[in-house]
Amino acid sequence: MEPMLKLDRMDFKILEHLQRTGRCSNVELANMVGLSPSPCHARVKRLEKIGIIEGYGAHLAMAKLGDALIVFTEITINNHRRTDMRRFEEAAEKFPEIMDCYNVSGGYDFLLRIFTRSVSHFQSVMDALLAADLGIEKFSCYIVMRVPFVKHELPIELLFGEQR
């Protein structure tokens, strides 16, 4: 686990605002959090440099782009040596369809979130993963029927409020 970085109340305030309004100018952000532009800019650059702000991007309405399939897939690896787990992670990362890969505890080792055009496209992704001989012992798939909501903002106050 990484060491805890020292953030103050103002850093958290900046992060909260940037999650909601990532396209705002530095002057707008400074006004929203109650700083002057220069120190606000310096704080944002520091948060970027230390890796807390990983990037900026647009949230896309996938349904408006066309039909797509979201599949959550549980993967069990037959050998739990760190090198075998890392080999799977590195291979899975190369698949553009695999959006998230979580190493989890419980009855399986990895939970993947996979976006594809269709069931046959998903099957081709799984066939390619299996053909890569990554030590996959078994997998289970769950096709998403609908997505009632997706949250893009971390609940910073709830998770880290006592650290302020």
Whether CATH 1.10.10.10 fits 9-58: yes
Nearest one of 99, 96, 90 to 132, comparing CA atoms: 90
pLDDT for position 1: 46
- pLDDT value at 5 more than 80: no
Architecture of domain 62-143: 2-Layer Sandwich (3.30)
Q: SS3 of 20, please?
A: helix
Any idea where the domains of the chain sit in the sequence?
9-58, 62-143
Nearest one of 16, 14, 22 to 46, comparing CA atoms: 14
* Cα(77)–Cα(133) distance, integer angstroms: 11
pTM for this predicted structure: 0.86
pLDDT for position 157: 86
- pLDDT value at 163 more than 90: no
* Cα(17)–Cα(30) distance, integer angstroms: 10
